[in-house]
Amino acid sequence: MENMFSLEGKVALVTGGVYGIGFAIGKALHDAGAKVVYNAHTEESMNIGAENYKAAGIDAKGYFCDVTDEKSVQEMIADIEKNYGGVDILVNNAGIIKRTPMTEMAVEDFRLVVDIDLIAPFICAKAVIPGMIKKGHGKIINICSMMSELGRETVSAYAAAKGGLKMLTRNICSEYGDANIQCNGIGPGYIATPQTAPLRERQPDGSRHPFDQFIIAKTPAGRWGTPEDLMGPAVFLASDASNFVNGHVLYVDGGILAYIGKQP
């Protein structure tokens, strides 16, 4: 059973793996035996990633790469193939959100969210799939969202992109499943990260932020998730334990999608 979850000898690329969910998944894959590489698109992000992996005792390789730029991604993948033997596991984690009412949102901002949250996973998957076909195996994990299933005020671009990412996941499965490539998604619920910190800030009177109260009430687990809650699911989907799991989105949400909520 241990061998089913082992990633010994595998190379895992985690996009945006410098902190938060991406870093937790990178650490989990490393702890399961994989060599971890990640990208950063700014010097500041690269430094944060290097410090976080070093502090965790992990020898991870960072690349300067804009994952929305196909040429840059292709150069990164070529270097990984040259130095580490190619990508066995791709985690499309890089993403952004802009919380703006739809009618107030600039088209440029909508496009930016879609570029990073949907087009970039397409570019990265396109770049690694030929190498995976040659190897005879591959794992692609797309970090989707509950917004792959639900809408909410102010997140039209994010929900559109994550809904598209869910369908890209299914289509990669459909096209390349017979090449022994499994493409699945992880749909995090509300996770306590720097990105969601403003939604959890205490009010001046010490009370919870209204959105924080809403999420706690809607989550059967009664709490926000943590990046560590995603580590086990990531290792499962990256390992041989999931070899017949394909085109699936595993929602790690504390039960939100299963729950209608308490009666007022």
Burial (CB < 10 A; 0-12, 13-18, 19+), residue 31, is middle
Tokens of 116: 């990073």
Packing angle of the helix pair 156-176, 120-135 (nearest 10 deg): 20
Compute the 3-state secondary structure of the chain and give helix, strand, coil in percent, each to the nearest 5: 50, 15, 35
30 to each of 49, 58, 194, 222, how far by Cα in Å?
A: 14, 7, 23, 30
Query: Taking the CA atoms of the chain, what radius of gyration do you get in angstroms?
Result: 18
Question: Of 38, 53, 158, 251, which one is the catalytic site residue?
Answer: 158
Compute the C-alpha angle 92/22/82, nearest 5°: 60
- Active-site annotation holds for 84: no
| Residue 21, both tokens | 């969910």
Rounded CA separation 174/167 (Å): 10
Residues with catalytic function: 158
